[in-house]
Structure 1
């Protein structure tokens, strides 16, 4: 699958940057990897709930073999129907990007809560400061 086809599939999502990696492509938006392409299949970053939702749509996890063992990553195949429905693909990509943000400990600009200042007592445990 080439980069033009990926851009078409995710047209309603917005710009997707592709970066070559491990014989496939990493899919990036806002500087975060939210998906990958391996052997002409698109896989999206998932968590437990999203993986179950994709599984109910017939998707399968990304599995590879290393040192004689099967390794399953938290990426699941884009459902077949989403390949022809840019709105569906965009919604799934937004969900995957949100999961990638949470996994990276990142939040969209302007949503981060300010940290409370620590008192000196909290910074130096075990010392009595009076």
Structure 2
């Protein structure tokens, strides 16, 4: 996904900063990471508080194969309906930002 499309996707939240990382991109809001772009997919940050919402929405958690076992990461796919509705996307982006705020404490 190109940077303009990422900025558009998160426009309801506010201006985001995009930095290259891990062969993908980190997406930041107010200096905190809220999402990743990995393999052309946007993944939103979640935590123990917000991950049940992602599960309920049918999202998939990012998992990669570490040393001999899979490793679950605190990033989840975006619900399908959020791609078509900026208001819904903004709500999910806010959840990701709130997870980053909680992680900072």
| Same fold, TM-score > 0.5, yes or no | yes
State how far apart, in whole Å, the 1-side matches of 2:25 and 2:83 are.
Answer: 17
Q: Higher strand proportion, which one?
A: 2
Which residue of the partner structure matches residue 67 of structure 1?
Answer: 67
Which residue of the partner structure matches residue 55 of structure 1?
Answer: 55
In structure 1, the gaps of 5 or more residues are 106-130
Which residue of the partner structure matches residue 114 of structure 1?
Answer: none
Structure 1 vs Structure 2 CA RMSD: 1.1
The TM-score, its normalising length taken from structure 2, stands at 0.92
Bigger-Rg structure (1/2): 1
Count residues in correspondence: 105
Higher relative contact order (CA 8 A, sep 6+): 2
**Is the Cα contact below 8 Å between 1:47 and 1:74 reproduced in 2?**
yes
The TM-score, its normalising length taken from structure 1, stands at 0.76
Moved over 6 A (4+): none
In structure 2, the gaps of 5 or more residues are none
